[in-house]
Amino acid sequence: MAIILIGALLTIAGVVYMADAVLRRGRLSEPTPAASDRPMPNLATSGPTLEPRRRGLGFLGLSQNWPGLLMMAVGVVLLLSVVIF
């Protein structure tokens, strides 16, 4: 029973870690820079929006998300080990 609980907690912790990593990368609203030395973001419309001109999948990169992916993988292995054995 403890292995199931640890596996579930590791899986949830991995998802939460990855979501937190995305949120820590930058502001999600008001894309206009506060300081004049920062460049203007590449936006699809001229107004303040969260939509980029080009969709990028940089938030899925392995270099930023490896701790969360590792926690999720260990959690899934623990959950599956209970089912197999």
HEC readout, the chain: CHHHHHHHHHHHHHHHHHHHHHHHCCCCCCCCCCCCCCCCCCECCCCCCCCECCCCCHHHCHHHHHHHHHHHHHHHHHHHHHHHC
Question: What is the pLDDT tens value at each position of the chain, 85 positions in all?
Answer: 899 999 999 999 999 999 888 777 765 555 545 545 556 555 555 566 666 665 566 666 777 789 999 999 999 999 999 988 7
pTM value is: 0.64
Cβ–Cβ contacts within 10 Å for residue 78, how many?
Answer: 19
* Calpha distance 33→39 (Å, rounded): 7
Q: What is the pLDDT of residue 80?
A: 95
Q: What is the pLDDT of residue 61?
A: 74
Q: What is the pLDDT of residue 44?
A: 52
